[in-house]
Structure 1
Amino acid sequence: MTGAIAEDRDAATAERDDMANRLLRSSEELSYDPVEAVDWETPLDTSFHGASPEWSTLYGTSYWDEMTEEQRRALTRQEAASVASTGIWFEMILQQMVIRDFYAKDATDPAFQWALTEIADECRHSIMFARGAAKLGAPAYRPKRHVIELGRVFKAAAFGEAAYAAILVAEEVLDVMQRDWMRDERVVPFVRTINNIHVVEESRHMKFAREETRERLKGAGPLRRRINALVVAGAAYFIVTSMWNSKIYANAGLDEQRALREAKDNEHHKAMLRSSCAGLMEFLDSCGLLTREATAFYKRAHLI
């Protein structure tokens, strides 16, 4: 029995090393330098949207029907900047969790080297998002104060499958949106380039997060799964509900209070979020991380 367990562990280690080496090779072959790849010099063309209109929080509402095309484009530019700013906030959390997880581990391990590669990617992405938001004419959108403080606690306390599953949740939601935006010719070209870079490079990060989540859950009992399911769902709720800052409407020249009311009741936007998370929820369920308590949080965030 002991020999069989050792063989299983050796096989799992070899498989993990192989995956990390493949991710490292992929990173060497297909990565971008946003400083060179993105057109930062051309002035913003306001005849374009900042995101696909169908992803706007007001799309499908009576307010949207009343807005001029100029107002709609101004709103989607602010929305894209807000989503990018939330991405920066969570990428800062992600980097700290990964560094803490690999602190003082074997530096010759391919997974260790991949973790550092991922952190380097996230640093570039955060700078790219920041420059993109500035070019869209947006301020530095930040989550609400209590969410920022909860983020401090989460990045210091989350470990193992809770950390990697939360990373996956944030990246999966962004991935689906950005795949739409990068193909949409109504979206300003430099934002399409930013989205393309992020989608390509984050696909590797998501694969690693999925495998790490499965690996860390091996042997986990029901109580541990239930606790971590709730932690991940709570993190998902605060990440997604922070993506669209309440100030985007006033900054787009709209009536903030009316916009907030209509966005809150916008069934189209809720449906877009749910459809974007179908694959993610299936994965969490397969890992035992979609408990009744966790599902309540996902429903509140309109992810299920």
Structure 2
Amino acid sequence: MAHPTDHTPTRAPAGAGDDVSRRLLDSAAVLSYDPAVEIDWDAPLPPGHYGLNPEWSTLYGTALWAEMTEEQRVTLTRHEVGSIMTTGIWFEMILQQMVLRDQYLKDPAGAEFRFALTEIADECRHSIMFARACEKMGVPRYRPNRLVAHAGRAYKSLARGELAYGGILVAEEVLDVMQRDWMRGENVLDIVRGTSRIHVVEESRHMKFARQEIRERLRGAGALRRRNAAFGIAAGAYVIVTSMVHPSVYRAAGLDVERALAEVRASEHRRAMLRTSSRHLMAFLAENGLLTGAAARIYRRIHML
């Protein structure tokens, strides 16, 4: 029998979270991709193919879209998807730091720890993949403005537990719905279809992990903690969604930037697409007490609700 002062470490019994992580690790062992070999990076880009399904363009359905030439539409969608990809790289760098910090000093033999590092490895490959796709399309680096960049730096440094994983889930859920359409778009560039397919498959595991982490962290949480988390996640969503498409994409397509932004803000089609991409996310947040009145007001302001 061990002496009462014996400091031999003990391992906590596996719970529901560890069971989920084990299943995700099994999935990762079977369904993971190396973009360096899965994507034909040397294939030429067909001149008439879009960067994303036209319906997902921020200007689709507006008067300005009707006035644009087909070449302008193709150029715009390539720059829009490039902006979304570079925003994705920015947030994946935030995500990796939050996940790595969350796993600091946790049991390395635990399935949660191993899957968290597997997710970080996935995100590294995704960022390189998106960077190569943007280079191939000739899209510049669209960076968030200084205020948003500072907000992201603060979020990654301060967000913990359900707030960190909630921010991760927001970014992944919204992009997932878009990319499921892009990967099936017959008139979408193969390079976008291929990167979307890889991202959708691997991010589905990341979303399951984030949902489970949120449930675990909120088990037994009081109303105040849930309200604070709900507001913080909604604030993060506001920054992410409003930063996805950089205003300079309209200039790249030869458009008047101010007019384009005005038409995007007034576009009911754009609002409907954002609500569609957020439907499952809103249901999950509501189920877990994270869709409070204050949070809902933020989501409605950015048309996610």
What TM-score results when the alignment is normalised by the length of structure 1?
A: 0.95
State the partner residue of 2:216: 215
- Provide the rounded CA distance (Å) in 1 between the counterparts of 2:303 and 2:163: 21
Helix, strand or coil at the partner of 1:186: coil
Contact in 1 for aligned 2:17/2:216 (Cα 8 Å) = no
Helix, strand or coil at the partner of 1:13: coil
- Provide the rounded CA distance (Å) in 1 between the counterparts of 2:141 and 2:119: 24
- Provide the rounded CA distance (Å) in 2 between the counterparts of 1:46 and 1:155: 39
Q: CA deviation at 1:169?
A: 0.7
Corresponding residue pairs, total: 295
State the partner residue of 1:21: 22
State the partner residue of 1:147: 148
The amino acid that maps onto 2:118 is: T
Matches within 5 A, 1:17-96: 17-96=18-97
The amino acid that maps onto 1:198 is: H
Identical positions, percent: 59
Helix, strand or coil at the partner of 2:44: coil
Which runs of no fewer than 5 residues in structure 1 stay unpaired? Answer: 1-9
**C-alpha offsets along residues 80-116 of structure 1, whole Å, 9 cap, x if unaligned?**
0001011111100000000000011110001100000
The amino acid that maps onto 1:212 is: E
Matches within 5 A, 1:1-304: 13-304=14-305
CA gap 1:173/1:12 in 2 versus in 1, 3 angstroms: farther
**C-alpha offsets along residues 139-192 of structure 1, whole Å, 9 cap, x if unaligned?**
100111101001111000000001111111100000000000000111011110
- Provide the rounded CA distance (Å) in 1 between the counterparts of 2:139 and 2:20: 39
- Provide the rounded CA distance (Å) in 2 between the counterparts of 1:112 and 1:99: 9
Q: Say which is worse superposed, 193-202 or 272-281, in terms of deviation.
A: 272-281
The amino acid that maps onto 2:57 is: S
RMSD: 1.3
Which runs of no fewer than 5 residues in structure 2 stay unpaired? Answer: 1-10
**C-alpha offsets along residues 207-256 of structure 1, whole Å, 9 cap, x if unaligned?**
00000001000011000110110000000000000001000001122222
The amino acid that maps onto 1:216 is: R
Helix, strand or coil at the partner of 2:74: helix
- Provide the rounded CA distance (Å) in 2 between the counterparts of 1:55 and 1:12: 46
Helix, strand or coil at the partner of 1:106: coil
